[in-house]
């Protein structure tokens, strides 16, 4: 398969950033999974007390298989924790649990970026496959308008990844505040560990946005190149 040098120019830095972010997440997670928190509370128990503190007792707590599969599900109003996070009294577990509860708080408040993000899901689901098809068809058939429509549809993925950033950063800020307010992190080392895990996770979202931007710039460069020909 032929991969154009222009594509490599656009995509490689973004790809490297993505790999670096994954590496950071994994190393921060494995490191702070081994550090016991001073309250000696498991992720599952921390979740219960934080949900209670936030008057979010109606949220269901479920355990899911896999590693780093923890998430808040706004549709079912449930908090899914991976086994390791739910069962270990680690610093990493505290950070992850509190971050996901941050999303639950956003959901209850109707936090605007989260609502916008939710509204974009169908657009992205369609645009991410139909956009490239229309774009390539437009280029092959020399129909500039069609290619532009394809690019526009595909751009929904960039908007989505950008709007994800405030949602994620805000959930992490809430997490730190929540853990401190409830006395779950008391030492500087614990705070450092929680921040390391959460900032590594945030970097993966930044990398996803950069990758999305790189793809769109590449498509746009193809489109302007085809016009010049």
- In the complex, the smallest distance separating the C-beta of residue 68 from Zn ion, rounded to whole angstroms, is 11
Q: Which stretch binds Zn ion (CB under 5 A): 50-58, 143-151, 169-177, 213-221?
A: 169-177
Among candidate residues 150, 162, 77, the one with its CA nearest the CA of residue 117: 162
> Active-site residue 189, yes or no?
no
- In the complex, the smallest distance separating the C-beta of residue 40 from Zn ion, rounded to whole angstroms, is 25
Residue with smaller CB distance to Zn ion, 146 or 206: 206
Size of the site for Zn ion (CB under 5 A): 2
- In the complex, the smallest distance separating the C-beta of residue 200 from Zn ion, rounded to whole angstroms, is 12
Q: Which stretch binds Zn ion (CB under 5 A): 2-10, 21-29, 106-114, 160-168?
A: 160-168
Residue with smaller CB distance to Zn ion, 96 or 147: 96
Q: Which stretch binds Zn ion (CB under 5 A): 21-29, 77-85, 163-171, 176-184?
A: 163-171
Per-residue x/- mask for Zn ion, residues 76 to 95, rule CB under 5 A? --------------------
- In the complex, the smallest distance separating the C-beta of residue 151 from Zn ion, rounded to whole angstroms, is 29
Please tell me which residue in 84, 100, 168, 190 is annotated as part of the active site: 100
**Which residues lie near Zn ion (CB under 5 A)?**
168, 171
Q: Which residues are catalytic?
A: 100
């Amino acid at each position: 398969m032929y991969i154009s040098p222009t594509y490599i120019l656009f995509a490689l830095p973004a790809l490297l950033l993505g790999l670096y972010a994954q590496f950071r997440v994994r190393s921060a997670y494995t490191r702070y999974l081994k550090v016991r928190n001073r309250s000696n509370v498991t992720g599952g128990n921390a979740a219960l007390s934080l949900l209670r503190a936030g008057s979010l007792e109606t949220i269901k707590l479920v355990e899911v298989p896999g590693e780093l599969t923890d998430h808040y599900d706004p549709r079912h109003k449930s908090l899914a924790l991976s086994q390791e996070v739910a069962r270990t009294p680690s610093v990493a577990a505290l950070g992850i649990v509190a971050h996901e509860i941050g999303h639950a708080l956003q959901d209850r408040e109707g936090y605007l970026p989260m609502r916008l993000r939710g509204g974009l899901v169908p657009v992205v689901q369609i645009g991410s496959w139909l956009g490239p098809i229309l774009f390539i068809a437009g280029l092959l058939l020399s129909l500039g308008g069609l290619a532009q429509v394809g690019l526009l549809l595909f751009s929904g993925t960039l908007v989505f990844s950008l709007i994800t950033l405030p949602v994620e950063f805000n959930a992490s800020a809430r997490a730190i505040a929540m853990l401190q307010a409830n006395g779950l992190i008391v030492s500087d080392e614990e705070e450092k560990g929680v921040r390391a895990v959460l900032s590594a996770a945030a970097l993966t979202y930044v990398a996803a946005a950069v990758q999305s931007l790189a793809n769109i710039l590449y498509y746009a460069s193809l489109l302007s190149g085809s016009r010049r020909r």
